[in-house]
């Protein structure tokens, strides 16, 4: 065990990049302080890397951990019956991410080539990495939930104000990775998520920005409706959905 003390309080991307630079292993896994692994998580990740040695990204499903309940994500990959290589990640990750930052492992050389975490992004850092990662690398995925991902009671998106944060550059990635199947729809889903977060915060400036950028053709009927509804009604709808999500 090696403890690294930063000389100052760094943001999440910078802190993780410090750890990545200091790591001596070839396969890196991350565990946030309020999350936890099942006892066999690391053993399973190692076995996946041995079974699929030519791949670079490995993950398991996880539990979304609320104060009084928990559930697994409702994404297509999480409903699979066995460990497999997913070459169309973005098409199967609409709605909820099949993995979280604490159920993921990446080969260090690939992280190095990517430049690690994007230190310019201060909101949605994991999404930013996910986009750059899966634009060029398949995912080896085990649908068994082997990590617990703590959820903020009012939703992860509302833990801090989004108005003062630097967001993932969706438009840049849409242009840079235009050849990647399913990416455009995936990006519009995350634009929608930020639109809802901005509406929840009553931040019309950010909400209007994402409403302009979203291609509504990539959303289902329910999400399209929420985009054009009265924002007061949307806040009520979001609150009801949060209560349902906690089970």
Tell me the pLDDT tens digit for each residue of 86-135: 999 999 998 889 999 999 999 999 999 999 999 999 999 999 999 999 99
Burial 170-181 (b: 16+ CB within 10 A, else e): beebbeebeebe
- Give the per-residue pLDDT at 95: 81
Q: pTM value?
A: 0.90
Burial of 211 (0-12, 13-18, 19+ CB in 10 A): middle
- Give the per-residue pLDDT at 66: 85
The separation between CA 212 and the C-alpha centre of its own chain, rounded to angstroms, equals 23
| Strand, helix or coil for residue 74 | coil
- Give the per-residue pLDDT at 158: 40
Alpha-carbon distance of 197 to 137, in angstroms, equals 29
8-state DSSP, 123: B
8-state DSSP, 217: G
Q: Is it the case that residue 177 has pLDDT exceeding 70?
A: yes
Alpha-carbon distance of 89 to 191, in angstroms, equals 18
Please name the residues in contact with 61: beta carbons below 8 A apart, sequence gap of 6 or more: 72, 73, 77, 78, 98, 99, 103, 141, 142, 143, 144, 145, 146
């Amino acid at each position: 065990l090696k403890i690294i003390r930063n000389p100052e309080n760094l943001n999440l991307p910078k802190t993780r990049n410090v750890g990545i630079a200091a790591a001596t292993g070839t396969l890196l896994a991350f565990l946030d302080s309020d999350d936890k692994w099942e006892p066999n998580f690391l053993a399973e990740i190692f076995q996946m890397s041995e079974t699929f040695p030519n791949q670079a990204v490995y993950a398991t499903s996880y539990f979304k951990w609320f104060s009084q309940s928990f559930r697994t994500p409702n994404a297509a990959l999480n409903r699979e019956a066995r460990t497999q290589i997913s070459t169309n990640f973005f098409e199967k990750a609409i709605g909820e991410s099949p993995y979280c930052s604490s159920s993921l492992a990446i080969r260090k050389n690939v992280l190095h080539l990517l430049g690690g975490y994007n230190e310019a992004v201060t909101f949605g850092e994991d999404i930013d990495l996910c986009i750059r990662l899966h634009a060029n690398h398949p995912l080896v995925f085990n649908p068994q939930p082997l990590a617990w991902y703590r959820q903020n009671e009012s939703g992860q998106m509302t833990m801090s104000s989004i108005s003062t944060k630097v967001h993932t550059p969706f438009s840049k990635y849409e242009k840079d990775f235009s050849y990647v199947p399913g990416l455009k729809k995936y990006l519009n889903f995350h634009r929608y998520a930020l639109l809802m977060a901005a509406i929840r915060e009553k931040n019309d400036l950010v909400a209007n920005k994402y409403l302009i950028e979203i291609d509504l053709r990539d959303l289902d009927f329910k999400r399209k409706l929420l985009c054009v509804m009265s924002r007061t009604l949307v806040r009520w709808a979001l609150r009801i959905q949060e209560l349902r999500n906690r089970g």
